[in-house]
A and B are shown apart, each in its own frame.
Chain A
Amino acid sequence: MALVATAVVLIPLFYLVVSVLEYGWDAWSGRVFTERVGELAMRSVLLAAVVGAGCLVIGVGLAVLVTRTDLPFRRPIAVLAALPLAVPSYVAGFSWLAVADLWDSSSRFTGFAASALVLTLYTYPYVYLPVAGALVWADRTSEDVARSLGMGPVRTLMTVTLPQIRPAIAGGGLLAVFYALSDFGAVSILRYETFTRAIFTALNAGFNRLGAVSLSVVLLVLTIMILAVEGRFRRAGTGPRLNSPRPSVAARLGAFRIPALLAVLAVLIPAIGVPVTSMARWFTAGVSRPGSVRVVAEAAWGSLSLSLAGALLTVVLALPIGLLIARHPGRMSRLLERLAYVAYALPGVVVGLSLVAFGVAVFGSSYQTPWLLALGYATLFLPLAVAAVAGAAAQAPRRLEEVGQSLGRPRWYVLTRVTLPLTLPGIGTGAALVFLTCMKELPATLMLRPIGTETLATRLWSATTSLRYAEAAPYAVLLVVLAAIPTWVLVRRSGIVAAVAQTSGAQGVSAPAPDGLAPSARDEENVLR
């Protein structure tokens, strides 16, 4: 089962290998072993490294401040900090460019620094969410012991707490790094030449796909190398914790309370304010408008239905892989887990082309069904769901399954009656995250959507490429607003808000909602890993 599900990710791999064979080694190596490819690789790796580091600093920093300190306005900040996840990178890029133009037109907001800044600001929630979730549900006993032995709060954090949440940090960091590697929207608008951008350019120039394919293979190798390096440093998580969450004793920031708040606002205000400002200006500046409310509603429906199909299919495929990783840890499941990441780091256009080839080969001229796009989403975003399922399943007490089996129930019965219900909350979180990511995806959507179907993202693309910003505005706003809903679900389910409310002592809230949220929220610890 898990092998079959993983095969989805292998479609682009297979496509790349076949294409390379088709063009021959000479043509391929001639394209790859050049100074330019080396330089592009350096640029991409540098960007991914800087964005990854930035995301770790901001994501972990925010998570610690929100869950473990008496930072003012912690509750709204806990929610707002996740919101940048709802902004697609191309919308972010456009927004920053437009607002920077308002400032001073002589100095240009483009290039490496601009790309790194924008990517970091809209990618750090991949770190923030799982780390905050992990902090809320981390085992506090050892921390209490450390404190009682006279260790200061900072030292406790560094030596006792952080190692516990390392899987969440590593997993989130990996997602951020691969996101930066595969992003096209922000770097093309902010004009920083990366590998992904070169792949698009090659496709735009040659049409024969040789350039795009050759470069994609290099990106693939780069991805595998990063996975290998990361794997060597990643230790196993600390396993399921069955203690209930306890109100955390907020560390007093003292004199640092206001500076800490200012630092947080220095991240959140630009990250959220710039897109809002830009969209407001688009609304008011131009004269173009979408054709009708119906056109907008159809695009919204297209986005919602296709993303829903994508999320469902992705989760269905992620289930066997996630369960295998949680229940049968070993070389095989580790390999499958890593494989899930492979297509995630490839640009959407390459995955799109590979699925066109796959769809034509399997279905002929009627290949353009919603299912193929859903399959495309699954190929691209499988690791998001796999991590959620594996995290949840790892937390579901194995004993219950053993009891079931000892009672003579067949395996499928135990699976459907015991394991699945226990894993369900994790599945929900994974689905929300995939759903959100599908809504924002553009290149594969453009290529694979059924003919005549438009989504918010494709309408937005179409309006902005012909400079009709006022027409683009409603699509952009709707896209961000709709994407904010699953983002809100993610925040709720992570248990951050409830825990923060608890420790704030607001009106003596005793515990998060006892049914559903509390036991499920514990499962979120490794959710984004």
Chain B
Amino acid sequence: MKSSRRVAVTATAAAFSLALAGCNDSGTDSPDGADVGAEGSGEPVVLYSGRGEDLIQPIIDEFTEQTGIEVEVRYGNTPEMAAQVIQEGDASPADVYLGQDAGSLGAISAEGLFATLPDEILEQVPAEYRAADGSWVGLSGRARVLGYSSASVESSDLPDSIFELTEPEWQGRLGVAPTNASFQSFVTALRVTEGDDVALEWLEGIAGNDPQIYEGNGGIVADLQNDSIDVGLINHYYVYGTAQEEGVEPEDLNVQLHFFTGGDVGGLLNVSGAGLVGEADNEDALALVEFLLGETAQEFFRDDNSEYPVVPDLGQSPHLPALEDLELPDIDLNDLGDLQQTVELISQAGLA
């Protein structure tokens, strides 16, 4: 009698351990320190990535191959990963946080969770693409653009400034993603350059133009590609993902890019970037950040992701207009941290 109960208990315990062992196994194939490369301390570097796996994992693999340092990556949304780091606070298992925009990096920095990066890393990147206090560094540039459906819109009819998008001409034709971090960074930039009143007025103008509201850039690009909407405010590189997925050249897609020039705030160049969570003397984590600024990684961002490299003199993707031709707006990415007020305004305008 007793034994049958024991069997049941043992079976349950075995099922548990099997299940849990499986969870552990699948991620940590790393050798136990013994044969880690010369530079490695043996502990894997833990990376929290707000970037999608396809945009970063190949470079991580390359890093491990070259240095022998194992990297364990947790993938998630940029803001949700930032919220997780902040929630974890000093106990965060993360060594490096990688975010899609300056706003999330600024938010973690504001909580004092980033260590200051050494100068030799910071100085590889022009001052406009890194934190003023050295808490994070940009890795790749991403331009805000107006995507448009080439079937429905002549390129000559496209606006020169985001301010034209509130005109009746664009009634019901525009797609926006007001809850998306990159849109919010852009609105913050608008507030910084033009003031809150102008920003609110613009948002209300957009809201009054009956826009299509999206969760993220992906939905806008998909709808531009199938001609469901005419124009949409997006980040430039999403289009290249669509081209890859459909197996065609970006030039042959229905969705095309329009870059705002002449310093219009609609042409904001935001960055993806990284910061060191916790200790400043984490050698392996620093080696990873260093590697992400190296030639291999920067060329990957340029060629595979069609982003702008942030390290000078690396050239750029043939699909993109030259950085110096963009006539970027004069914005300090360090000023994009105040999202609260931005969200207030977006909500006040009725967009979210």
Contacts and interface: CB of A to CB of B under 8 A. Distances in A.
A449 B72 CA distance: 13
B19 A305 contact: yes
Contact of A467 (B1, B107, B218): B218
A206 B343 contact: yes
A296 to B, nearest CB: 12
A305 B222 contact: no
10 contacts: A201-B179, A287-B247, A302-B22, A353-B83, A371-B20, A446-B76, A451-B74, A462-B53, A466-B52, A467-B222
B85 to A, nearest CB: 9
Contact of B24 (A200, A446, A450, A454): A450
Nearest to B350: A36
B18 interface: yes
A203 B79 contact: yes
A137 to B, nearest CB: 27
Interface stretch (B162-170, B197-205, B238-246, B309-317): B238-246
A322 interface: no
A468 B80 contact: no
Contacts, number: 173
Interface of A: 36, 101, 105-106, 108, 188-189, 191, 193, 200-209, 211, 285-288, 298, 301-302, 304-306, 308-309, 312, 349, 353, 356-357, 360, 364-371, 416-417, 446-447, 449-454, 458, 462, 464-470
B54 A466 contact: yes
Task: Report the 4 A-B pairs with minimum CB-CB distance, sorted nearest first.
Answer: A452-B27, A305-B22, A370-B23, A205-B343
A205 B339 contact: yes
Interface stretch (B127-135, B208-216, B259-267, B294-302): B208-216
Interface of B: 1, 5, 12, 15-16, 18-20, 22-24, 26-28, 46, 52-55, 72-77, 79-80, 82-84, 86-89, 91-93, 104, 107-108, 179-181, 184, 212-216, 218, 221-222, 226-228, 238, 241-242, 244-247, 339-340, 342-343, 347, 352
Contact of B92 (A193, A365, A458): A365
A360 B88 contact: yes
Nearest to A353: B87
B87 A309 contact: no
Given A205-B181, A287-B246, A302-B23, 13 more contacts: A207-B104, A285-B246, A288-B244, A301-B22, A304-B19, A306-B23, A353-B87, A365-B92, A366-B93, A451-B73, A453-B23, A467-B241, A469-B245
Nearest to B28: A452
Given A204-B79, A207-B79, A360-B89, A287 B244 contact: yes
Given A349-B80, A462-B52, A453 B26 contact: yes
Q: Which of B24, B52, B73, B83 has the most C-beta atoms of chain A within 10 angstroms of its own C-beta?
A: B83
Contacts of A298: 26
B247 to A, nearest CB: 4
A358 B5 CA distance: 34
Nearest to A202: B343
A321 B21 CA distance: 29
A357 B87 contact: yes
Contact of B218 (A36, A364, A462, A466): A466
A309 B340 contact: no
B212 to A, nearest CB: 7
Nearest to A193: B352
Contacts of B244: 287-288
Contacts of B84: 353, 356, 447
B26 A454 contact: yes
Given A305-B23, A451-B46, A365 B91 contact: yes
Contacts of A207: 79, 82-83, 86, 104, 107-108, 339
Contacts of B89: 360
A162 B23 CA distance: 45
B337 to A, nearest CB: 10
A209 B73 CA distance: 24
Contacts of A466: 52-55, 218, 241
B215 to A, nearest CB: 5
Contacts of A308: 15, 19
Contacts of B184: 205
A124 to B, nearest CB: 25
Contact of B93 (A106, A191, A209, A368): A368
A309 B23 contact: yes
B228 A105 contact: yes
B90 to A, nearest CB: 9
B20 A201 contact: no
A469 B246 CA distance: 10
Nearest to B104: A207
Contact of B27 (A204, A309, A450): A450
B343 to A, nearest CB: 4
A370 B19 contact: yes
A458 B75 contact: yes
Given A306-B23, A370-B24, A204 B179 contact: yes
B299 to A, nearest CB: 20
A367 to B, nearest CB: 7
B200 to A, nearest CB: 15
A465 B78 CA distance: 12
